[in-house]
Structure 1
Amino acid sequence: MSAPSFSLVGLGPIINRWKYFVAGAVALAAIVSVVVSLLLPNVYRSTAIFIPTNPQTADPDRLLEENTQMRGQLELSSRAEDLDRAITIGESLPVAELIIKKFKLYEHYKAGTPGDDNADNYVLSEFGSNLSLVHNEHDAIELSFADRDKKLAADVANAMVHVIDSVNQQLTFENRRTVLDLYRRRYEYLSISFERSRRELVGARRRYGIFGLEMQGRYLAKALIETETALRKAEASGGDVTGLRRAVRGLTKADGGNQINLESYVSGTDSLTMFVARVADLQNRLVAARSAYESADLSLKGRISSLYQVQKAYPATRKFKPVRSLIVLGSVLAMFALSVVFIALLELYRYHRPTATPSA
Structure 2
Amino acid sequence: MYEEFNDNITFKLTKYLAVEISVLDYNADTAAFIANDIAVFMDSVKNRMQKEISLPALKIVEQRYTTQAAFIQALEDSLTALRLLGVIDYESQAERLTEQLGIAIVQGKVAAANQLEERLKTLSKYGGAYVSIRDQLEYEKKQLTIIHSKYEEAKVDAENVLQHKFVVNNAFPAEKKFYPIRWLIVLISTLSSIVLTLFILATTTPINMGIKNSI
Please say whether Structure 1 and Structure 2 have the same fold, judged by a TM-score greater than 0.5: yes
Q: Quick one: distance in 2 between partners of 1:129 and 1:275?
A: 66
Matches within 5 A, 1:157-306: 157-167=35-45, 169-170=47-48, 173-207=51-85, 209-231=86-108, 244-253=109-118, 261-304=119-162
**Residues 218 and 268 of structure 1: is their aligned pair in 2 closer, same or farther, counting only changes over 3 Å?**
same
Query: Which is worse superposed, 215-224 or 348-357?
Result: 348-357
Q: Is the 8 A contact 1:184 1:293 kept in 2?
A: yes
Q: Is the 8 A contact 1:154 1:313 kept in 2?
A: no
Q: Residue type matched to 2:212 in 1?
A: P
Check if 1:309 corresponds to 2:165.
yes
Report the structure number with the largest CA radius of gyration. 1
**Residues 130 and 154 of structure 1: is their aligned pair in 2 closer, same or farther, counting only changes over 3 Å?**
farther
Residues 42-98 of structure 1 show CA distances to partners (whole Å, capped at 9, x for unaligned) of: xxxxxxxxxxxxxxxxxxxxxxxxxxxxxxxxxxxxxxxxxxxxxxxxx77xxxxxx
Q: Residue type matched to 1:210 in 2?
A: V
Q: Is the 8 A contact 1:133 1:141 kept in 2?
A: no
Q: Residue type matched to 1:262 in 2?
A: L
Q: Is the 8 A contact 1:134 1:141 kept in 2?
A: yes
Give the equivalent residue in structure 2 for 1:60.
Answer: none
Matches within 5 A, 1:304-343: 304=162, 309=165, 311-316=167-172, 319-322=175-178, 341=199
**Residues 320 and 281 of structure 1: is their aligned pair in 2 closer, same or farther, counting only changes over 3 Å?**
farther
Structure with greater proportional helix content: 2
TM-fit CA distance, 1:215: 1.9
Q: Is the 8 A contact 1:210 1:265 kept in 2?
A: yes
Check if 1:145 corresponds to 2:23.
yes
**Residues 317 and 149 of structure 1: is their aligned pair in 2 closer, same or farther, counting only changes over 3 Å?**
closer
TM-fit CA distance, 1:277: 2.2
The DSSP-based 3-state class of the residue aligned with 1:314 is coil
Q: Is the 8 A contact 1:187 1:289 kept in 2?
A: yes
**Residues 292 and 198 of structure 1: is their aligned pair in 2 closer, same or farther, counting only changes over 3 Å?**
same
The DSSP-based 3-state class of the residue aligned with 1:303 is coil
Q: Is the 8 A contact 2:35 2:171 kept in 1?
A: no
Residues 154-175 of structure 1 show CA distances to partners (whole Å, capped at 9, x for unaligned) of: 4432322332442454356455
| Paired residue total | 198
Identity of aligned residues (%): 17
Q: Quick one: distance in 2 between partners of 1:314 and 1:146?
A: 16
Residues 221-258 of structure 1 show CA distances to partners (whole Å, capped at 9, x for unaligned) of: 22223322333xxxxxxxxxxxx1111111112xxxxx
Q: Quick one: distance in 2 between partners of 1:192 and 1:304?
A: 34
Matches within 5 A, 1:6-85: none
Residues 146-195 of structure 1 show CA distances to partners (whole Å, capped at 9, x for unaligned) of: 45445x54443232233244245435645532221111111111111111
**TM-score normalised to the size of structure 2?**
0.70
Q: Is the 8 A contact 2:12 2:20 kept in 1?
A: yes
RMSD: 3.9
Where in structure 2 are there 5+ consecutive unaligned residues? 180-187
Q: Quick one: distance in 1 between partners of 2:21 and 2:171?
A: 14
TM-fit CA distance, 1:269: 1.2
TM-fit CA distance, 1:297: 0.7
